[in-house]
Chains A and B, each alone.
Chain A
Amino acid sequence: MSQRDTGWADLMRAANSGDAESYERVLRRIAAALRPLVRRGLARAGRSGADIEDVVQEVLLAVHLKQHTWDSTRPIEPWVHAIARHKLVDALRRRHGNFDLPLDDFSETLAAEEESPSVSGREVERHLAQLPAGQRAVVHAVAVEGVSIAEAAERLNLTAGAVRVALHRGLASLAKTLEQD
């Protein structure tokens, strides 16, 4: 499998040392590359069009939460690719019973990027409603309303530290409930 150098690794390394702007850029670019990849995967499984953005979001969450499993001295594309494949197979199994995606059918490059920032998924929203109230309020404020940690803390009458913890736990529980659904 040959992977084009996407430039993601540099951005991710910058993100790892705390550069939020690089992190935002790399997440958007990964999401954009995941869309065509997930679309092809779903099409090959005979599930064209269904739930593309839901799977994209689930992969993105995993990329975020499992970031420490990428060895920053190695290329990042095979890592993203393996996560995407794992999550896609998982999503297909969950929704359509026992299912195996042949490895070859998914060994595409992550070259193409498909920007569509306003696309929505339904699953995250649905699972957000099941989170504990504190986590839900923080995730909603930061994600949907786009407020900063400090603003969320003021609004919810919490310390910034508590907001950070609730945000991280909220994202982790989202990933967990998405996986179990």
Chain B
Amino acid sequence: MRTDDLVHAMVADLHAAQTSIGRQFALAIAIGFAISAVLFWVTLGPRPDIAAAALTIRFDLKIVETLLLAATAVALVLRLAQPGAGTGLQKIVLAAAPALLTVAVMAELLVVPTDQWQAKLVGSNSLVCLTAIPLLSLPLLAALLLALRHGAPTSRGAAGAAAGLVAGGLAAALYATQCTDDSPLFVATWYTIAIGAVTVLGAFLGRRLLRW
């Protein structure tokens, strides 16, 4: 076929601008988060003493850290969905949540006696944490991968991984409202493993599903 003929067809197919990438991702996150939240509500639900917990710095920190991770990963995944968009700044900003967590861990090590470190780190919910976060992240990850298919990611693995970070971060924020292990030592260990697993899954699926 002549390129000219192809151009004819494309001009005839010109229509009002499609849904923008930003809107597509906003929709994906809203729907994915709604499903995850319902899932969370019927299986675990927030801890009974959440009102009191919300007044403690350790509880608030884990919510802020997970939401910060999700927000910075959203900025990255949006850029990764658009060909030629630089991601340098977004990758630097992605370090904000890990940096905050590191500071929290150091502060915890300073204020908690050495003989309690292990108990704080091991906690009592690590298995629930490792199960709940990946499972709660699945609706979000699916919605984000669909949004990425609407986009045009030139690095499929990286785009999938960033989607995994968003999904894992939001799922972790939900789970954090149920978990009674508030120590940054617990969060830095188990949340990191759980979100890391979702990120690896995202990269794996991205490589397979995001061809265009």
Contact = CB atoms under 8 A, between A and B. Distances in A.
Interface stretch (B9-17, B102-110, B175-183): B9-17
Nearest to A70: B82
A121 B14 contact: no
Nearest to A86: B154
Give chain A's interface residue range (CB within 8 Å of chain B).
35 or more
Interface stretch (B18-26, B126-134, B164-172): B18-26
Given A31-B7, A118-B4, A119-B2, A83 B13 contact: no
Given A28-B7, A82-B154, A68 B18 contact: yes
A143 B10 CA distance: 8
Contacts of B14: 15, 18, 20, 23
B18 to A, nearest CB: 4
Interface hub of B5, B6, B150 (most chain A Cβ within 10 A): B6
B114 interface: no
A155 interface: no
Contacts of B7: 24, 27-28, 31, 60
| Count class of interface residues, chain B | 20 to 34
- The binding surface of chain A is classed by DSSP as helix
Interface string A50-75: 00010011001110101111110010
B83 A57 contact: no
Contacts of B3: 31, 53, 56-57, 60, 117, 119-121
Interface of B: 1-21, 81-85, 150-152, 154, 211-212
19 contacts: A18-B14, A20-B14, A53-B3, A60-B6, A62-B212, A64-B10, A66-B83, A66-B151, A68-B19, A69-B81, A70-B82, A71-B21, A82-B84, A117-B2, A124-B6, A143-B1, A143-B8, A148-B12, A171-B13
